[in-house]
Amino acid sequence: MPRLAILHFLFHVRETRDIAGIDGAFNLGLGNLPSLQHVFIQFKSGGASEEEVEKVKAALSHAAEIHPNHPTLGIL
């Protein structure tokens, strides 16, 4: 999918805890999508603490910021 320009996905905060690394960080792999221009995330925070939600939102923003194309990020 190297030519994918728009990505829309559902993101569950609680499930992210299970796949996060030892340091609590996770890699979305957006760097593997070099043509990416827009990312839309349907965000589900049910059962997660406010602190967890903020950490995940910060990580998502960071992933968009460090991407070579700096795709726009929409959290729904």
| 30 within a domain of the structure (yes/no) | yes
Alpha carbons 7 and 63: distance in angstroms, whole number: 13
Which band of pLDDT confidence, cut at 50, 70 and 90, is reported for residue 3?
very high
**pTM (2 d.p.):** 0.79
| 1 within a domain of the structure (yes/no) | no
What number is the average pLDDT over the span 11-26?
69
Cβ 25 vs Cβ 56: under 8 Å: no
pLDDT above 80: residue 1: no
Q: What is the pLDDT of residues 22-75, one digit of tens each?
A: 555 667 888 899 999 999 999 888 888 888 888 888 888 988 999 999 999 998
Question: If you ran DSSP here, which 8-state letter would residue 75 be given?
Answer: E
Cβ 55 vs Cβ 19: under 8 Å: no
Tokens of 6: 């728009």
Which structural domain range is residue 70 located in? 6-75
Total structural domains within the chain: 1
| 44 within a domain of the structure (yes/no) | yes
Alpha carbons 45 and 26: distance in angstroms, whole number: 16
What number is the average pLDDT over the span 12-26?
68
